[in-house]
Structures are given as structure tokens and as C-alpha cells.
Amino acid sequence: MTTLLSLCTRNLLRTRRFLIQTTWSAMSTDSEVLLETAGNKGIITLNRPKALNSLNLNMIRKIYPQLKAWESDPSVKLVIVKSAGDRSFCAGGDVRALVEAHKAGNPSVAEEFFREEYQLNNLIGTLQIPYVALIDGITMGGGIGISVHGAYRVCTERTVCAMPEAAIGFFPDVGGSYFLPKLPGKIGLFLALTGYRLQGRDVFKAGIATHFVDNSNLKNLESDLMRLENPTLADIDRILLKFQEQCEMDYKKEFALKHVMGKMNNVFDADSVEKIMEALQKEGSDWSRKQHNIMKKLSPISLKVAFQQLKRGANMTLQDNLKMEYRLAQRFMADHDFHDGVRAVLIDKDNKPNWKPATLEEVTEEKIDSYFKPLPTDKELKL
């Protein structure tokens, strides 16, 4: 009897170990986002490396309630967000999935995605506990949205940041109308209208990142944060600055855009997109010609909406900006350019979008104003 009992116990333990190992393995390899509470820290790991950790609705629906739970738990003192893989922090929202769902007759998928993504952006921006984003690798669009509104954004020499939405017939959302106007000079508008890619220390120099650390030291930085017994803002600041000062990469080297800041501030200070294009042509330098050629290929509606949203958003709260952007997102989903832009860049990959209207001059003020009009009361974004 004892032998039989021992055998049953051993088999039960073996089965239990197998189930635990199987469950852990599935979470580690199959879950699109990993959420862990380790001591008094919350850890978010974006886990779609093959998709460059692009953000989808399933991930948002896991992150949001967990962040809320951590915020309301007095024992949680710090949240760290990072990514799996070595190429990308988060390449943006999974817009291809939204367009394909819309094409299949499910437009509500996009409504839900943008509503819940912007609610997550707002939660990060108002979070009552320190939030450290380790933005190593490609960080674009939605990836900026889940990092830039937090207290700390740590970039590395491998970080590439951009808001390239106008290339797919969309606009710089996820709070772009809030944080882009706050960057030095006209950098924010320049990024919005050209999709220019900031790299490495320039992400820090431009103000999107708060700190710069060597990629090779990122795990050590994370370990030091995890070892903090009772993390305070002063403790976190001290650790981030320590690793920044240890950089072998020269983060103090001058900003790559420094030599064109004067031109940029003059040209992008014009009071319309058309006048910016004229000023770029008139300025005549290689840099100006390059920006002019880039902007000529982008969606005219996207450019005009982006110009207007940054102008309107400069003196608005994050919450009011996100509400405005939700209106814009619904208008873009209902119009032509976003769908054809995603088709051309991400689906067919022919890079030949058919913008409608095709020129800036054809995009009327009435058309742009219609994008900003309130939605029906029950359709507005609630924060």
C-alpha cells in the first residue's frame, strides 16, 4: 500500500512538473506579451519578435488591466517595459491587421483598437508609479506611444525612432499632437511631415528619450533596477545616470541635425504645408531638396492633417489630444488613403499608393476641417 501510494505520489509530482513546464513554455514562447510581477516591480515584455513586436489589440487588452492593477497595488513601486528579440522594441501598431479586418467587413476592429490603444497611452501618461521603457531597436508609431508618455525612456545606439504614418496615408497619432510640439524648435513638425528616422543618441538629443545607454549595458541596468528594494525616483535617476555616464558610445557628440536646425526652424515655421514645400524649394540646399522629394511622395491629406493637428495640439492636454486623434483615426479609417497606403507599403509592397486627392492643392480646408469634427456623443473617446 505504501509502495503504491509512493508510486502514485511520484507520478502525480512528475505530471505536475510536466504541466508547470508546459504552461511556462507556452507563456514564454507563444504569449504575445509577457506580464510578470517580480517582488515590487512589474515587468512588461513585448513578445512578437518575428513581427518586430508590433502592437495588436490582444496585447493592449493584456497590458492595460495589468498596468491598472499594478498602479492600484501599493506594493508595486516600478514598472519596466521591454521587448523580446534583438531588432525591435515595437515597430508600431499592427495596421495591416486593421485594414484586412475592415476589408473583411469588420470595421469595429479598428474602432476598438484605436480606442483601447489611446486609453493605454493615457494610462501610461498619468501613471502614478515610475515607468521605465527600454527602447532598444526599432521604435515607431505605437511603439513610441507606449514609451514616450512614461517618466523614463532609455534608448541605445541601436534605437531607431520615427513617426512615418504619412507614408501609409495616416497621421502621427498615439499622442503625437501632444509630444511632438514639445520637442526643440520645429523638430516635431519635421518628424511628422517627413517621417525622418532619429537614430541612437539623436533619439536622446531630440528629447524623445530621457537617457542614452550602451546596448551592451542594458541588461546590467535592468538588473540594478530590479535590485532596488524600495525604488524611489531618486534611486531610478541615479542608476540611469550612472549607466549613461558609463557609455562607451559618445552620447555627448553633437546632434546629427544640428547643422540644419536653422534651415529647419525657418522652413517649417511657414503657416501651411504648401508654403513649407515652397520654402524647401526656395532654400535650395541638398537637405531641402531631399525633404521636398520625400514629402512629395506622402499622402497630401496626411500632411495637411498632421500640420493642423500639431498646431491645434500644442496647447492642449494629453487627454484632449487623444480625443482629437481618435476622431481623426475614425475619419482616416472611413476614407481612402489609409487603406491604399497600407496596401502599397505593407501588403502588396509595390510602394505605389494612389493618393486621393493626389496633390496638396486639391485638399480643401473644408476637407481637413471635416476630419476634426466631433463624432456622435456615444462614439467619442472616453478617458
Has 169 been annotated as catalytic? no
Check whether the bond before 353 is cis (ω within 30° of 0).
no
Return the C-alpha cell found at 357.
Answer: 486627392
CA dihedral in degrees (342, 345, 348, 352; nearest 10)? 100
> Catalytic: which of 173, 214, 222, 325?
173
How close are the terminal C-alpha atoms of the chain, in Å? Answer: 63
Residues in the chain, total: 383
CA–CA distance, 133 with 155 (Å, rounded to integer): 9
Strand order in the sheet with 78-83: 33-38, 41-46, 78-83, 131-135, 152-155, 211-212
Which residue in 178, 180, 198, 179 sits closest to 188, CA to CA?
Answer: 180
Has 165 been annotated as catalytic? yes
Number of other CB atoms surrounding residue 32 within 10 Å: 16
Has 222 been annotated as catalytic? no
CA–CA distance, 137 with 193 (Å, rounded to integer): 22
Q: Quote the distance between the C-alpha of residue 165 and its chain's center.
A: 11
CA–CA distance, 79 with 375 (Å, rounded to integer): 34
How does DSSP classify residue 376? P
> Catalytic: which of 93, 137, 141, 195?
93
Has 378 been annotated as catalytic? no
> Catalytic: which of 92, 137, 142, 200?
142
Query: What CA–CA distances, in Å, run from 308 to 66, 130, 162, 270, 328?
Result: 35, 32, 19, 12, 11
| C-beta of residue 180 within 8 angstroms of C-beta of residue 188 | yes
Backbone conformation region of residue 7, classed left if phi is above 0, alpha if psi is from -120 to 50, else beta: alpha
> Catalytic: which of 94, 165, 202, 222?
165
Residues 6 or more apart whose Cβ sits within 8 Å of residue 378: none
* Residue 155 dihedral angles phi and psi, to the nearest 5°: -105, 170
CA–CA distance, 341 with 258 (Å, rounded to integer): 32
Return the C-alpha cell found at 136.
Answer: 532598444
CA–CA distance, 172 with 303 (Å, rounded to integer): 10
Catalytic residues: 93, 142, 165, 173
